[in-house]
A and B are shown apart, each in its own frame.
Chain A
Amino acid sequence: MAAVYKSLSKSAKKVEDTEENNNTTTTNGGFRKNKQRVLILSSRGVTYRHRHLLNDLAAMLPHGRKDVKFDSKSKLYQLNELAELYNCNNVMFFEARKGKDLYMWFSKVPNGPTVKFHAQNLHTMEELHFTGNCLKGSRPLLSFDGAFEQEPHYRVIKEVFLQMFGVPQGARKSKPFIDHVMSFSIADGKIWVRNYEIREVEKAKGEKDSEGNDIPEDKSSSKKRKGAPNAELKDTDVSLVEIGPRFVLTPIVIQEGAFGGPIIYENKRFISPNHVRSELRKSKATRHNARTEQVKERLGKLETLTAQAKAEKDVLDTRELFA
């Protein structure tokens, strides 16, 4: 009975806004209900580090669905069908090239947009010996840099992150407590991703004055919240311990569709790693070329000198003297 009522009331609300994506539905509050599922997969040819990073991220996303390696690098639009097959509305695709470069595609599946990043400075959870830890599948607080609100493309990226990394309320395998923060910061035109554990520690007595702003807030909140132990709320402060993984994303391109469609943003500061490498090689080549040229020059000089010496006949040469 309850289920029928639920579905009926749901459908009634659904009528209200018609241009709804299938990833969101409205509830009583009038806002969209957050329903996210993320398909997490990589291309072939990922290194172990890429794979470990993928595993770490998959562990952090209880609403994620890890899939086997995707075979193609050119027909990425096939991922749309794959996502549909798994009822996923987000795709996080790790594309490895040349066994060293990692590109990460973040796509909202049926209607886009798609953001392509170049991932650098990967450090997986295991290789970073941080002491932080958190519940598997607890909902993270997402901390965004203020710069995310300034540019439209950053706003799009922020929204994509919000939907991918933010574990939706009431997700199936999520835990009811909040004990970690994922932070996204923009520096040097890149997005730096970090993950911290929130540790609640006893507030030091000296700090009370500086934290004066927080305390009254807490008081009011504790008043509103019935049956909450006040003492527990008051005397703790927050400290952070990093968990990992760490990685840096350089946005390259934003497409309007899901793995397709027109490009609506292109990062001009992005230089392909291949280009960087080739420049490096070129610079090395110039050094070598200069050296070989020098050798050639020297040999040429020697030749001319010997020719000159031969041409000039010395009067005191033994052959001249005793000819």
Chain B
Amino acid sequence: MPRQSTRTKKPATKAAEPEKVEKVVEEKPQKEQKKRGRKPKQVVEETPVEDKMEVEEEQNEEETTTQTKADKQQPEQQEETGSDSEDGSDDEEENDLDLNALDESDSDSEFERDLNEKQSAAGIQANKYQNAAEEESSDEEDEDEIDIDDLDAEGEEGEEIKAISQARQTINNKQGLLTALKRFALGTSDKVPFAFHQSVVSKKVTEESIPAIDDDLARELAFMNQALEAARVGRALLRKEGVPFTRPTDYFAETLRSDETMEKVKAKLIEEATAKKASAEARKQRDLKKFGKQVQVAKQQERAKQKRDTLEKIELLKKKRKDGSGPSGATEAEDLFDVAVDNELKGKPGSKDNSKKRGRDGKESGGPNAKRQRKNDKFGFGGKKKYTKSNDALSSGDVSGFSARKMKSGGGEGGRAGGPGGGSKPKKFKPAPRPGKARRAASAGRR
């Protein structure tokens, strides 16, 4: 704040002097930054900096005269100059300066410059036209400066450069921008029909509706809302002016994206949809499989239970018959399949309870599940496994697979078919019928 007082109190004195020094000092890091960031030979970029330097020096010379005017015209500017000096003094102490304050501070010095421009109307115009001529000369100058700057930069600490780059001074010549705007702007005021420019400036600031810039969805939604609002407004305005808006359905013309691309997009969409569907299907199948096993096991158990129940019932019935009617034992076998009795049994509530109980018991003693059962069958479960497949007295005595008829028919084929499998389909392996007597005799004769 100390500099503010000196400035406002005596603008006609040497208040401009320290400013100038400060400017030049701050200019250097900026240039360094430039050199670091961009290629050294970029003439177009570098030359304007030269211009700016020159202009500023001019400005500083004249500043003393214009200062009073500027202060009178804009009382707010005093505050800004205050912030300017403050920033300048705090520069070494704080790395993270208030950017807004800096911005304003830049602009106000630029504003002064514009006052100068107004006084000498040639100002920028002259600069602009000189520019081409200066480019050649400034190119060489630039190269010289690059060497010096590079040397300086090497001597300094990296930290320091970083800090400077954060607080580097930039140009924001607001007045210049506005004059430039005035020079080339098309009128978009209310007098101009909307169809002339077709631009809608939103009343809202879009950034305010974006919670975090990294949140893609929210950000795009905000952009879309802005565009949607513009589309609504624009449509209403265009309709008011009688400008055709909607494309009729029978209007065909070349589109921005070719049919080929749209086809691709469509294919992509379909592919995505099918992939999604397939994955859903697969998941469903997987779930079903997991669940299906349980169902299967349950069914098997149910069946087993049913079988056990019926067997028990029969057993019970048998006992009953035996106990109840001894003499009628002859018809026992028939009665076994007496449906009426069976039905009666089923109807009995007591028996049902009984069966249920049994069932539960059965479940407990039901033992291994189907998988285990199958494995037990296959691999055996406990006990001796050796010689299980070799013959013993019983198996060698077993002649159930033997068929005299097959043996009679003879032949290798018959022998092969003589096993237990062969018995099941005797017709297929039936040998050719015996030839007739004459033929047999003939064949015997040949021998």
Bound complex: CA of A137 vs CA of B198, how far in Å? 14
The yes or no answer to B265 lying at the interface (CB within 8 A) is yes
Bound complex: CA of A194 vs CA of B184, how far in Å? 25
> B39 — nearest CB in chain A belongs to which residue?
A97
Known: A263-B171, A275-B36. 10 other contacts (CB 8 A): A32-B187, A129-B269, A136-B255, A141-B231, A142-B197, A142-B198, A145-B206, A261-B127, A268-B103, A268-B169
> B262 — nearest CB in chain A belongs to which residue?
A133
B240 and A255 contacting across the interface, CB-CB below 8 Å? no
Residues of A contacting B193 with CB < 8 Å? 29
The yes or no answer to B300 lying at the interface (CB within 8 A) is no
The yes or no answer to B58 lying at the interface (CB within 8 A) is no
Shortest Cβ distance from B436 into chain A, in angstroms?
Answer: 85
Secondary structure at chain B's binding surface: helix, strand, loop or mixed? helix
Bound complex: CA of A244 vs CA of B200, how far in Å? 20
**Chain B interface category by residue count:** 35 or more
B102 and A268 contacting across the interface, CB-CB below 8 Å? yes
A156 and B177 contacting across the interface, CB-CB below 8 Å? yes
> B265 — nearest CB in chain A belongs to which residue?
A129
B265 and A131 contacting across the interface, CB-CB below 8 Å? yes
Residues of A contacting B251 with CB < 8 Å? 177
Chain B 362-404, CB-CB to A under 8 Å as 1, else 0, gives 0000000000000000000000000000000000000000000
B37 and A274 contacting across the interface, CB-CB below 8 Å? yes
**Chain A interface category by residue count:** 35 or more
Q: Which of A8-16, A38-46, A213-221 contacts B (4 or more CB under 8 A)?
A: A213-221
Shortest Cβ distance from A138 into chain B, in angstroms?
Answer: 8
A214 and B236 contacting across the interface, CB-CB below 8 Å? yes
Residue from the list B199, B223, B254 in contact with A166, Cβ < 8 A: B199
Q: Which of A63-71, A185-193, A294-302, A310-318 contacts B (4 or more CB under 8 A)?
A: A185-193
> A162 — nearest CB in chain B belongs to which residue?
B199
The yes or no answer to A99 lying at the interface (CB within 8 A) is no
Q: Which of B8-16, B84-92, B242-250 contacts A (4 or more CB under 8 A)?
A: B242-250
> B131 — nearest CB in chain A belongs to which residue?
A260
B168 and A268 contacting across the interface, CB-CB below 8 Å? yes
Residue from the list A31, A143, A155, A180 in contact with B196, Cβ < 8 A: A31
Residues of B contacting A156 with CB < 8 Å? 177, 180-181
Known A74-B42, A274-B37; contact A141-B132, beta-carbon cutoff 8 A: no
The yes or no answer to A30 lying at the interface (CB within 8 A) is yes
Shortest Cβ distance from B49 into chain A, in angstroms?
Answer: 7
Bound complex: CA of A158 vs CA of B242, how far in Å? 26
> B199 — nearest CB in chain A belongs to which residue?
A142
B257 and A125 contacting across the interface, CB-CB below 8 Å? yes
Known A185-B222, A243-B257; contact A139-B206, beta-carbon cutoff 8 A: no
> B166 — nearest CB in chain A belongs to which residue?
A268
Known A133-B262, A135-B256, A136-B256; contact A260-B128, beta-carbon cutoff 8 A: yes
Known A125-B261, A142-B200; contact A162-B99, beta-carbon cutoff 8 A: no
The yes or no answer to B219 lying at the interface (CB within 8 A) is yes
Bound complex: CA of A87 vs CA of B24, how far in Å? 43
Bound complex: CA of A199 vs CA of B127, how far in Å? 50
Residues of B contacting A267 with CB < 8 Å? 170
A136 and B206 contacting across the interface, CB-CB below 8 Å? no
Secondary structure at chain A's binding surface: helix, strand, loop or mixed? mixed
A146 and B255 contacting across the interface, CB-CB below 8 Å? no
> B191 — nearest CB in chain A belongs to which residue?
A31
Tell me the chain A residues, 240-269 only, with Cβ under 8 Å from chain B. 240, 242-243, 253-257, 259-269
Known A136-B255, A262-B128; contact A179-B247, beta-carbon cutoff 8 A: yes
> B184 — nearest CB in chain A belongs to which residue?
A108
A135 and B165 contacting across the interface, CB-CB below 8 Å? no
Bound complex: CA of A129 vs CA of B220, how far in Å? 16
Q: Which of A156, A255, A261 has the most CB of B within 10 A?
A: A261
Q: Which of B176, B186, B264 has the most CB of A within 10 A?
A: B186
Known A186-B207, A217-B236, A262-B52; contact A169-B196, beta-carbon cutoff 8 A: yes
Tell me the chain A residues, 139-191 only, with Cβ under 8 Å from chain B. 139-150, 152-153, 155-156, 158-159, 162-163, 166, 169, 175-181, 183, 185-188
A178 and B128 contacting across the interface, CB-CB below 8 Å? no
Bound complex: CA of A298 vs CA of B100, how far in Å? 50
B38 and A272 contacting across the interface, CB-CB below 8 Å? yes
Known A133-B262, A224-B240, A265-B173; contact A271-B165, beta-carbon cutoff 8 A: yes
Q: Which 6 A-B pairs have the closest CB atoms?
A: A272-B37, A143-B230, A268-B170, A152-B177, A183-B227, A264-B176
Known A111-B184, A185-B223, A188-B207; contact A166-B197, beta-carbon cutoff 8 A: yes
A136 and B180 contacting across the interface, CB-CB below 8 Å? no
